[in-house]
Structure 1
Amino acid sequence: MEPRRRTRDRRDRGLRGPAVQPRPGARLPRGSKREQFDALVVRIVTDVDEKWSAQLGLVEYAVEDAPLVPDDWTGTVPLSSLVRGSGTRPTRLVLFRRPIEHRCDSRADLEAMILTLVVEQVAELLGIDASEVDPRYGDDDDLD
């Protein structure tokens, strides 16, 4: 007896997942949440860095999913990290995507949070007030 060729899955439900192309004119997703977050960070960092790059020197900006904290950590989870450079090592500003997204309810909140974190860290590096770094700092209504 010849084995039966299976055309459906083992529970006889048929093919799983998208088996057809989307309808013409249907909106396609604009990348993953990670890609959207990264694009937002790049836009904000570019705006700030263009203005202050001469005073900042070499700064490396990065996004990581979450910070590495010890098992016995009792404080709040950090949203960003600033490691000052020395010698040939550049200063490194890291934003932690998951904790930031967890604290934001909308894209506007996310944009405001990223702007706040970047501006505060750059202000700390420069030793000036955060409102001098970017006039949008603290202004939740004007983030375009």
Structure 2
Amino acid sequence: MTSDSPSRPGQVSSRPGAAASPGVEPVRRRDRRGRGPRGLLMPTSMPAYRTRAERFDDLVLDAVERIERRWSRQLEGAEFAVEDVPPSNPAPWERGGVPMGRYFPADAGLPARIVIYRRPIESRAADPLDLADLVREVLVEQVAHMIGRAPEEIDPELRD
């Protein structure tokens, strides 16, 4: 018997890709150390269970709901989206910095869209409260641009 073949029927060779004996079911292990599959590292009830991206999406949804309560008629049909980073080709009016959000007007059958960029906003926020405020500010600025109003009209409670 060669070293590449199993020494006993039903035993699996240690060499990857080695074939087992025909008609013999190979021994299956659940994991490398035989302790079973790994469980959840964090219970689902804990705040740390959700990813940063999921928490950011929740902040954006909260801000959109707040704005839609007052401006639902003007925002009818508009879409809101979150992307990790802006594309590498800046718009002609964007100079000297990374955009935190963009408004795309309705065009060729596509609805108006507002896109919020997660990574640039997260990098500028000092803490979770600051992140929530910054998300709201960026969203308010983009909505104001979309409907042609001042940001203070969209959300009078914006901080100075």
1:142 alignment partner in structure 2: none
Residue 31 of structure 1 deviates from its aligned partner by 0.3
**Larger of the two Rg values belongs to structure:** 2
Shift in alpha-carbon separation, 1:30–1:23, aligned structure 2, 3 A: closer
Amino acid at match of 1:105: A
2:52 alignment partner in structure 1: 33
Residue 137 of structure 1 deviates from its aligned partner by 1.5
2:137 alignment partner in structure 1: 116
Q: What's the Cα RMSD here?
A: 3.4
Query: Cα deviations across residues 15-60 of structure 1 (Å, max 9, x unaligned)?
Result: 9xx9577799x94624000100001110111110232121233211
Amino acid at match of 1:129: A
- Choose from 52, 57, 63 the match for 2:82: 63
Question: What are the ranges of 5 or more consecutive residues in structure 2 without an aligned counterpart?
Answer: 1-6, 15-31
Question: What are the ranges of 5 or more consecutive residues in structure 1 without an aligned counterpart?
Answer: 140-144
Residue 63 of structure 1 deviates from its aligned partner by 0.2
In structure 2, what is the Cα distance between the partners aligned to 1:85 and 1:35? Answer: 27
Shift in alpha-carbon separation, 1:65–1:23, aligned structure 2, 3 A: closer
Q: Which has the higher contact order (CA 8 A, sep 6+)?
A: 1
For the pair 1:47 / 2:40, whether they are aligned, the reply is no
The count of aligned residue pairs is 133
- Choose from 110, 117, 126 the match for 1:96: 117
In structure 2, what is the Cα distance between the partners aligned to 1:90 and 1:32? Answer: 29
- Choose from 128, 143, 158 the match for 1:107: 128
In structure 2, what is the Cα distance between the partners aligned to 1:105 and 1:81? Answer: 22
**Local SS of the residue matching 2:107:** coil
Q: TM-score, normalised by structure 2?
A: 0.67
For the pair 1:127 / 2:151, whether they are aligned, the reply is no
